[in-house]
Each structure stands twice: as C-alpha cells, then as structure tokens.
C-alpha cells in the first residue's frame, strides 16, 4: 500500500513538471529576450551605427613623365618604399644628348654676347673719338673765324690806303689773297664740323645697333637657358622616385617596356595616415556632432578594439557626388533615405599600422549621447 502511494506521488510530480516546465522555459526566454531587448534599446538610444563604412588613405600614382624604354625597376609588388627612393629608370640617353646640345647652343650664344659687348665698346670708343674731333673742328672754326674777320678788316684798310695812293697794288693783291685764303679755310672748317656731326650720328647709330644686338642675344640666351632647364627636367624625369612614403600595389611595368608620358606605372598608398568614411542614414544625424567617440570594428580583425572620433560631416549626401545625380523633378519620384558621409579620425593609428589597409570594411558606432 505504501509503495502504491509513493508511485502515485511520483506520477503526480512528473505530471506537474511536464505541465509547468514549458511555461517556465517561456518565461525565462521572455525574460532573457526582454533583457537583451532592453539593452538593445538603451544601446540604440546612445549609439548610431552603420556597416556602410570603409578605411580610406592617401595614395599617389607613379606616372611616367617622359617617353622611353624602361631600363631598371628597383621595386617589387606590394613593397614598402620611402619618399624619394629611386623606383624606375627610363633610358636617359636621348635626353642627355638633348641637354648637351642645349648647353652647347647656350655657350655659342654666350660667345656671341661677348662679341656684341666688344662691338659696343668699340662703337662707344669711336663715338668718343668722333665727339673729340667735333670739338676740335668747332675750336678750329672759331679760331679761323677770327682770322677771317681780321683778314677782311685788313683788306678793307688796305683798299682805303690804296685809294689814297699810300699802298702799292701788289700789297693790295696780297691782302685780297690772304682774305680769300682765310675765308676758304673757314669754310673748310665749317665742312669739318658738319662732317663731324654726321659722324656723331653714325657713331650713335652704331652704339644703338650694338645695344640692340646685345638685347637680342640676351633674349636668345634666356630662351636657350629655358631649353637647358627643360632638358635637365627631362633627364631628371627619366629617373622616377617615390613621391610619398608607403606601400605600392601591383606594378604595371617591367624592364624593356616602352612607356608614354602620363602612363600609370603603379600606385603608392601612404601607410602613415588612415581615416574612416562612414555613410550614415540621414535619420541618424540628428544628434551626431564633431568630436563624438566612435567604436570601430574591422571585418578583417573582429577582435581588434579600435577607437575613433568624428572629425567632420559632409556638406552633401553621397548621391550629390554621384556621376549622374538623381533628378527628383522628373515626375517619377520615390523617396529613398539618403546617406551622408562622415569622416572618422582613428585614434592612435600608429598602433594599428600593420592591420590598417585602405578599403577594408568597417562597422562604426558613434556615441551620440553620453
């Protein structure tokens, strides 16, 4: 009888457990779900998150600036390079010859300039001599004018004396001859003055011509100096160096390849500066401000805890920067939630230098309420 009673009690206990256990499990699930739902609600009140984000970095294309055959490639794919490091050499012989020719032309023009300056000095010396001769001719003319005037006075006096029978005819003829000689000598001196003035004009024209020739040669020298500078640039362009420090991608050039100006040989990505561009929905921007803290998770390194800070918000939505922006005035309007790019500064980015890569996908959570 006791055994039967115990069995009945056991059966009732099992029946009770089967009855209440599902209810208990449902209650526990609801409690756990409610807890996590509350946590998610509280988290959503304090954070705005997006997985539409990626790491960005500065990059610089390495371009050929002159045409020619590549003679050396001093870097491998995905190698780390320093700024100014020699990367590629293009055959510079053609540009060396052009530089030598330009320098030879410059030296020839320099010699022409020296000759032109010597011609100017000669013309200036000739002008000084002509001016001296003009002054001498003027002085001689002044002296001769005095002699001419005296001879005329003497002739007038002798003519009066001859009329008074106080002078012989021969003496009068001598006075006449002397006056005629002095007058002719004066006229000759006047002609010398005229010739000297003409010579002065010719000398000044020679000086002006020499000066113009010097200016012309100096202008030619400037052009030839520019040609030399251009040739030196091309010689320098034949030796391509890294414009920035960083890591290169896959190179698109091999020795022996002919390259053209502007051809992209490869790209260098700076490994010292990275940031994040996260595209948040416009409905998430109400409380977002510059300076707010950001929790960052990399898809490639999910266990890496990275902190950031909002550094700026774009002044336009991403659609505005599209190649073909949407035209809402077309009549077929469908409202779509727009996204706004937000730039996030990575704190202590040097610490994660080996993990950060431009283009990696990111989950970003901005703490909008403290």
Average pLDDT, the chain: 83
Please tell me which residue, 98 or 354, carries the higher pLDDT value. Answer: 98
216 to 197, 207, 251, 258, 315: CA distances (angstroms): 28, 14, 49, 41, 56
Q: At what angle do helices 169-237 and 93-163 cross, to 10 degrees?
A: 170
253, burial (CB in 10 Å: exposed 0-12, middle 13-18, buried 19+): buried
Please tell me which residue, 361 or 354, carries the higher pLDDT value. Answer: 361
Please tell me which residue, 82 or 169, carries the higher pLDDT value. Answer: 82
Angle (CA) 52 54 58, round 5°: 145
Torsion angle in degrees (nearest 10) through CA of 256, 258, 262, 265: -30
Positive/negative CA dihedral, 306, 307, 312, 313: positive
Condensed to tens digits (0 to 9), the pLDDT of residues 241-299 reads 999 888 888 888 999 999 999 999 999 988 778 899 999 999 888 889 999 999 999 99
| Residue 139 in tokens | 């002085």
pLDDT band of residue 32 (cuts 50, 70, 90) is: confident
Q: List 25's β-bridge partners, or say none.
A: none
For the chain, percent of residues with pLDDT exceeding 90: 35
pLDDT band of residue 309 (cuts 50, 70, 90) is: very high
Short-list 347, 365, 366, CA closest to 288: 366
DSSP 8-state assignment for residue 167: S
Would you state the pLDDT for residue 20? Answer: 64
> What is the SS3 string spanning 216-229?
HHHHHHHHHHHHHH
pLDDT band of residue 201 (cuts 50, 70, 90) is: confident
For the chain, percent of residues with pLDDT exceeding 70: 87
With a cut of 80, say whether residue 311 has pLDDT above it. yes
Would you state the pLDDT for residue 183? Answer: 80
Condensed to tens digits (0 to 9), the pLDDT of residues 121-158 reads 888 888 788 778 777 778 777 887 787 778 778 778 76
Short-list 116, 111, 64, CA closest to 89: 64
DSSP for 249-269, please give it: ------TT-EE-TT-EEEEEE
Condensed to tens digits (0 to 9), the pLDDT of residues 175-195 reads 778 778 878 887 887 787 777
Q: Where are the alpha helices (DSSP H) in the chain?
A: 2-46, 93-163, 169-237
With a cut of 90, say whether residue 316 has pLDDT above it. no
Would you state the pLDDT for residue 202? Answer: 78
With a cut of 90, say whether residue 58 has pLDDT above it. no
Short-list 338, 346, 326, 323, CA closest to 277: 346
User: Is residue 189 a contact partner of residue 137, using CB atoms and an 8 Å limit?
Assistant: yes
Task: State phi, psi for 367 to the nearest 5 degrees.
Answer: -80, 105
């Amino acid at each position: 009888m006791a055994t039967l009673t115990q069995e009945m009690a056991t059966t009732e206990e099992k029946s009770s457990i089967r009855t209440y256990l599902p209810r208990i499990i449902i209650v526990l699930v609801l409690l756990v779900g409610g807890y996590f739902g509350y946590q998610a609600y509280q988290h959503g009140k304090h954070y705005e998150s997006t997985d539409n984000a990626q790491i960005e970095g500065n990059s610089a294309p390495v371009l050929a600036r002159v045409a020619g055959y590549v003679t050396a490639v001093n870097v491998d794919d995905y190698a780390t390079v320093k700024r100014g490091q020699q990367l590629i050499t293009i055959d510079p012989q053609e540009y060396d010859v052009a530089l030598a020719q330009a320098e030879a032309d410059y030296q020839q023009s320099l010699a022409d300039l020296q000759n032109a300056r010597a011609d100017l000095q000669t013309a200036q010396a000739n002008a000084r001599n002509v001016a001296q001769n003009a002054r001498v001719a003027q002085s001689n003319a002044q002296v001769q004018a005095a002699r001419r005037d005296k001879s005329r006075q003497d002739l007038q006096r002798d003519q009066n004396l001859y009329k008074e029978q106080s002078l012989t005819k021969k003496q009068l003829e001598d006075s006449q001859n002397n006056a005629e000689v002095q007058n002719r000598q004066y006229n000759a001196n006047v002609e010398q003055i005229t010739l000297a003035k003409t010579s002065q004009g010719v000398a000044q024209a020679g000086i002006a011509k020499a000066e113009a020739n010097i200016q012309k040669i100096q202008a030619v020298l400037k052009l030839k100096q520019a040609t030399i500078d251009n040739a030196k640039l091309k010689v320098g362009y034949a030796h391509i160096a890294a414009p920035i420090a960083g890591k290169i991608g896959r190179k698109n050039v091999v020795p022996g390849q002919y390259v053209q100006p502007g051809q992209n040989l490869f790209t260098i990505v700076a490994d010292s500066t990275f940031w994040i561009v996260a595209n948040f929905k416009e409905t998430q921007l109400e409380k977002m401000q510059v300076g707010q803290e950001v929790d960052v998770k990399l898809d490639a390194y999910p266990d890496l805890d990275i902190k950031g800070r909002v550094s700026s918000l774009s002044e336009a939505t991403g659609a505005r920067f599209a190649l073909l922006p949407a035209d809402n005035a077309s009549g077929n309007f469908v409202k779509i939630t727009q996204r706004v790019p937000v730039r996030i500064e990575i704190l202590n980015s040097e610490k994660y230098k080996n993990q950060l890569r431009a283009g990696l996908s990111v989950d970003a959570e901005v703490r909008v309420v403290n």
